[in-house]
Every structure is written in structure tokens, then in C-alpha cells.
Structure 1
């Protein structure tokens, strides 16, 4: 059994999401009744779209990462907890004892919840099961028990499906991506935080009237408010902050202009890649609908995908770029902070993208929610760094030089990780039982009053939207 699981995990690691996802999509589409040729074309199109998304994201995140590192260098700050980035966190998660079991566990949880009609989401985003394994590996590091870690991973898989169902209607309408949901735990966890902060903002006179969305900017400033030009402007500003002392005048100008053009390109190209993705998903969505209709009437089946499909919206990119220097400032001024951000500053878009439907694309509010989330995240990271480091050492991860402990924004900054570890460390088995009961209660409450929950997530009175041009 262990040999089979090791082989399965190795296949996921080797193939990567852009190869594994089309294979999974093809198999599922055929099972759902799509013709083999149609399913094959859809799967290849989806794979091509994700390759395109990853290429553009790689370009954008690489540029943001370079600027962020330049800004960090300019500040001259030093901390003993080093941000090693999500690729390292994923390697640690899949390399842990929990990572060996997470794929069959997450699939089993998904199947059980589908059969019991507790979820509408079929999570095909197998690569991102590492998020469940990561929290499970922290639980194992905290308790010394693999059993605890496996149960926590299963609970996180269920929680991801709950968030996916809860936010699906708002995501579909705002982002123009019908038939999908986002069970990506690192992105979905911000939803209850955003609901609370938005409720507070609505009750602050003056502040509650500020609406700085990419649409209002475009209306007010014309061509200078268009997403591609907005990306250029934000890129030029970030580039100037990061590279003002990068060398002679010509070098500085070159780096600043390159940053501006890269972010302008991301603003234009990411929505186009999402359109290609939706072209591939349409036959799968239709097959799923027909499959369910024949067996369960009008019940809806959603395809759970990576939150990368959300990053292309101008509001997500704009708010994220603004949050990069804010995050660096927070790392300097927050009392007691020992974390220096480095590799994961570029993934802030994934942290805030799911707030856009709820906040109607209001960049001002998205920045506020992101700032509060990151500020709290620093303290979460400080608290979890010892366990993060312990899990890394156990998985054979090579520690970077001069780092006493390590962390990452994904998933080391997440409130869910902290709450889970507190439950497990403080209450043991009772904590696991309580978490299971709380998640089950949330499923029950969601199904009892679905419309109210979805309105809370931003689905009410949301105009039909298409992916931003």
C-alpha cells in the first residue's frame, strides 16, 4: 500500500498540475458521459489554458518577487524567521508522512460528501491537496501522531469543499466562470475575515462611501484607468520604489520600465487565458449537468479548480500590487515580529482574490481586508514557525543559510492553520471531535439557509460579469 501511495505521490510531483489536471479532467468527463473525442479536446484545452495562466503568472509573480526583494533589501531589515515560499511549503507537505496519504484521503472525503449531497463540488485540483497535507503535517509535528495529522488533513479537505460551495455563486457571477468553484484553501480562508471586516466598514461614516474599483477608475480617468494602463502605472511606481538605487540612471529606467510593461501584460493576458480555460470547461460542465440531471434532477455539480482562475481580474491584481509594499512595512513596524518576507510576497494575489465578489471589486476595501489579514498573519507565522520548521526537517527539507526557523505566506500565515493547531495541542482528541462537529454544523447551516450564506459571500445583486478584457 505504501508503495502504491508513494508512486501516486511521485506521479503528482513529476507530472505537475498542468499535465495531471487534463488527465483527471478527461477521465471525469468520460465517466460523466462526454464523448471521448470531445472530452479529449476539452482536457487538452484546459491544460493549455493552465499552461498559459502559469506562464503569465510566472512572469508577473517573478517581476513582483524581484521588486519585493529589492524593497526588502533597501530597508536593510533582518529577521530570524525566513519566508521560504509556497513551493517549499508544498514540497514539505507532500514530503511529509501525511503527504503520502493525502490524495486518497481527500478523494475519499470528496466522494463521501458528494454521495451524501453535502457538497456540489468535485475537486479536480489534485495538486493543491498539498494544502490539506500541510496543515496535517503541522498537527503531526505538534502531537507526534500521524493519526492526528491524517484526521486534520481530512477535515481540511472537507472545509475546502464547504468554502468552495459557499463562494461558488458569487465567484461565478463576478468572475464570469460558470460551473466552477474554488476549493483552494489558502484563498478561500479569507472569506469569513472579509465578511466581518466589510460589515465593520459599512458602519463607518465616510469610509463606507469610498469606492475605488477598476471600473470607477476607468470611467473617471478614461484610457489611463483601463486595466492594461493601470497595470503599467502601478508597475512603474513599484519599480521606482524597488529599483531607485539599482545602479546608474539607465539601469534604473530599464528595470522600472520592464516592471511596468510586465504588469501591464499580466493585466491584459491573464483574462484571455481564463477565457480559453472556460472554453475547455464548457463541455465538461455540460456533461456534469446532464449526468446529474438524469440521476438527481436539477442538482448542480461544480468543478473545483485552482484559484489561479481568479487572479486575472484587474481588482485582484491591483489590490495585490498595492499590498506588496504594505506587507513589507508591516514586517518592519509590527511589534514582536520575527518574520522577514521574501519568496512569498508574490502570491498575495491568491490571498485576496476571493474577496473581490464580496467587496464588489472595491480595491480600497480589498486593500484594507488584505492589510488586516497580513497583519494577523505575521503573528500566526511567528507562532507556527517552530512547527513549520519541525515539519520541514522531518520531510528532509534543506534549511536556508542564516535561518533559525522558516515560514511562508501560503500556508504559514493562515488563521485556519493556527486555529487547528490550537485545538489539537490544547484539547487533543476532543479538539479533533470539536473541529469535526463545527465543520459538520457549518455544512448543515449552509444547506439550511443557502441563499443567506451565499448573499453573505457576495452573491446578492451581483451584475452578470464576464472575465475582464
Structure 2
């Protein structure tokens, strides 16, 4: 077990910009891409991932302090602290069951592909931790290794199914040909968000309000440009945080830059995937006729769309407001506020990029997420003890990525049935 855990930790420590090119290179050779093109594809994907991570790091470094400033400015005082996905991920990988889940997840995916139960080959190894978190939750709640593994397997199967079902909308709206999104947090929010969004789109007076970036640009000219939208949203967040004029302009320009640069980083990554997708299609058509295969990727690819990023950023102050007024909530939104754009990844294409409908949808979903995160806190705190340094003043921790994720919460309730 220790050896397997060491291997997993070594692989994860390399980071996506190293391991993803290796995976792409191996896949390319399996699908009979030439050695030269396989190397170029792998390197291009790695470079694209470096660019995406740099821009997302910039996003986190800008939104995080602004959100913290809002918390301090408005004197929010709730007893469960949102510790963020990095802390919960670390707590997950520290559980003895987590390392075993990596080969199990791969095996389940391969079996489902072999029997044509899925079209998705999930190569997003870093987000395997969402499945492992379900397994770790089952193990911690029941103290039963096999129930934990069962939770992880069922979670994996659901991820594959949701990835397949949402892939057509993802590919059409984001222009990500041959891609599905397998990030557990994006899927958990979509399971609630897609039907809620559909219902909201039927409400008289709201259903006919078009607020996608293209419509905004047509009606408001320059204010519909992604960089201008980013500037205005960044300034809005900074003003709510009580920043001075210099900080407001710096934050606004940073958000404008993120809106402009991120889609270009996604395009670079996609350039590296195109040869793999074309080769995979040719091989599968020869062997299975018209069968297609999707490459399961991180929801980070979706944040390159202005509507997804704008929706996520607008939800930051809305989430803080809901947390204050919501009866029964004890979670103080904090570290995961910067990752809300990821939660919007599958909701936005279901609303055809309508920012207003997407924001209204996520407002409802975040309300439920706060209740779920509050309920999840005791188990998450138990998982993190001795592994994660708790924020000052925190009696318990939770987060939005896992604790407020409907899919993970369902497995918490399932595991509690076997206590």
C-alpha cells in the first residue's frame, strides 16, 4: 500500500504540464500517430496546460484576496470555514484508500469503453481525486474499505455517464471537438443546475431575456467585448472589497487580461489534441464502424469562454450574500470562491451562454450547496485532521468543490446508511 501511494504521489507531484504530455504521447502512439506528430502533440498540450494554469493562477490570486476583503469588510462570522479544494484534495490523498482508487478508476473506465457503455476516455488524472473523495468519505464514515471502494466505483460510473450526456453541448458551445468534461465538481453542479436552468428558462419575463456575450455586444457595443466585461467585473469585485482606486484599476485590468488570454491558451491545448482525435476516429471507425470516442478533460477548458468566466465571477458576491442570509447555513465562503467558474462549466452551455440565466441557475444551486457543505463539515473535518492546517478561528472546515457538490453529498448520505 505504501509503495502504491508513493508511486501515485510521485506522479501527481510532476504536475499536469509534465504528465499530460506523456499520456497524450502514449495515446498518440496507440492510435498510430507518427512518432514526430506524437511528440509535437504531447508538447503542445503540455504548453497549453502551462498557459491555462498560469492564467488560472492569476485569476485565483486576484479573486481570492478580493473575496477575503469582502469577508473582512462586511464582518461575516460563520463557524465553518471553506478551506478550498486544495486542502480537501490533500486530505483525500492522505487517506489509505485513495491510492488504490487510481488503478480502479482506470480499470472501470476501460471496462466501460470495452463494452461500449461510455464514449469517454478520462485522461484527467488530477481530477480523479473527486472519485477518490467519494471513496474516502465512504471509508471514513463506515470504517469499511470495501464500501469506500464501492462508493468510488459508482461515482466513476456516474462521471462517465454525465460526461457522455453533456459532451454534445460542451463540444457545440465551447468548440471543443471530441472533448467531454469529467471534472466531478462541474458535474455535481450540473446535475442540479441543468434541470434548474431549464425551469428558470421557462419563467415568463425571464425566458426571453438574452444575455449571452454576443447579444450583449450587439446591444451595448464595446461593453460586450470580453476584455471590457472582465474589466467591469474586476472593478465591481474590487469596489465591493473596499479597494482604493489603484487596486481597483489593477484588479480590473487583471480580469480584462484573463478574459482575453485564457481562450487563447485553450486553443493552444486543443491544437495538440486534434491529431489524437483524428487518429482515434480513424482507428475506431475501421474497427467499430461509426463509433466515436471523447477525451475526458478538466473543466478548466470551459473557463476560456467569456460567458462561463463572467458567470463564475458574478457569483462571488452573490454567494457571500446568500451565505449571510440563508437560514441553517454555517459555512463561510472563502477559498473556493475563485473556483466558481469551474462549477459553471456545464451549466453555461445548457443555457446556450445566457449569462443571466446561468447566474440565476447557480444562485439556486449555490443555496443548496451551502446547506450540503454545512452537513458535510463533520466528516470533512475528520478527514482533514492532522493533515490540513485549519484556518484561524475555524472549528470545522468544508468547501464548495466537494462539500457543496451534490454528487459527493449523495455518496455521503449513502455511506451514512451503512454506519
Picking from 276, 281, 290, the partner of 2:282 is 290
- Larger CA deviation: 233-242 vs 2-11: 2-11
Equivalent in 311, 314, 325 of residue 306 of structure 2: 314
Distance (Å, rounded) in 1 between the aligned partners of 2:251 and 2:366: 24
Count of aligned positions: 419
Counterpart for residue 350 of structure 1? 342
3-state DSSP class of the match of 1:101? helix
Q: CA deviation at 1:9?
A: 1.2
Match of 1:151 in 2: 150
Question: Is the Cα contact below 8 Å between 1:12 and 1:127 reproduced in 2?
Answer: no
> 1:254 matched to which residue of 2?
246
Structure 1 residue 47 displacement after superposition: 0.5
Q: Distance in 1 between matches of 2:110 and 2:3?
A: 20
Q: 2:403 aligns with which of 405, 412, 418?
A: 412
Q: Partner residue of 2:127?
A: 128
Instruction: Indicate yes or no: 2:209 matched with 1:210.
Output: yes
Written as runs of structure 1 = structure 2, the 5 A alignment for 1:123-202 is 123-202=122-201
TM-score (norm 2): 0.97
Displacement of 1:3? 4.1
Equivalent position of 2:263 in the other structure? 271
More displaced, 56-65 or 105-114? 56-65
Structure 2: tracts of 5 or more residues without a match = none
Deviates more, 1:8-17 or 1:19-28: 8-17
CA contact 1:163–1:189 (8 Å) conserved in 2: no
- The 8 Å contact of residues 45 and 279 in structure 1, kept in 2 or not, is answered as yes
SS at match of 1:401: coil
RMSD over aligned Cα atoms: 1.3
How many angstroms apart in 2 are the aligned matches of 1:239 and 1:187?
Answer: 26
Q: Report the CA distance between 1:427 and its aligned residue.
A: 5.3
Task: Report how far residue 269 of structure 1 moved.
Answer: 0.4
Deviation >3 Å, runs of 4+: none
3-state SS of 1:413 partner? coil
How far apart, in 1, do the equivalents of 2:96 and 2:210 lie?
A: 47
Once the two structures are TM-superposed, the CA of residue 115 in structure 1 deviates from its matched residue by: 0.4
Between 380-389 and 331-340, report the one with greater CA deviation: 331-340
Are the aligned partners of 1:230 and 1:264 in contact in 2 as well (CA < 8 Å)? yes
Task: Flag the 1:399–1:146 CA change in 2: closer, same or farther, 3 A.
Answer: farther
Instruction: Pick from 403, 406, 429 the counterpart of residue 394 of structure 2.
Output: 403
**Match of 1:406, SS?**
strand
Report the CA distance between 1:294 and its aligned residue.
Answer: 2.1
1:358-404 Cα shifts (integer Å, max 9, x gaps): 1011111100111111110111011110000111127x333333211
Could you say what secondary structure the match of 2:121 adopts?
Answer: strand
Q: Following TM superposition, by how much is the alpha carbon of 1:224 offset from its aligned partner in structure 2, in angstroms? A: 2.0
Secondary structure, aligned partner of 1:232: helix
1:61 corresponds to: 60
Choose from 323, 328, 334 the match for 1:331: 323
- TM superposition score normalised by structure 1: 0.87
1:116 aligns with 2:132: no
Q: Secondary structure at the match of 1:409?
A: coil
- Contact residue 9 and residue 94 of structure 1 kept, 8 A: no
Taking the aligned partners of 1:62 and 1:228, their CA distance within structure 2 comes to 18
- What is the SS of the residue equivalent to 1:207? coil
- CA shift, 1:337, in A, is 1.4
SS at match of 1:209: coil
Q: 8 Å contact 2:142–2:418 — kept in the other structure?
A: no
Are 2:197 and 2:347, in contact at CA under 8 Å, matched by a contact in 1? Answer: no
Cα 1:233–1:400 shift into 2, 3 Å: closer
* CA distance in structure 2 between the partners assigned to 1:23 and 1:7 by the alignment: 19
Three-state SS of the structure 1 residue aligned to 2:98 is coil
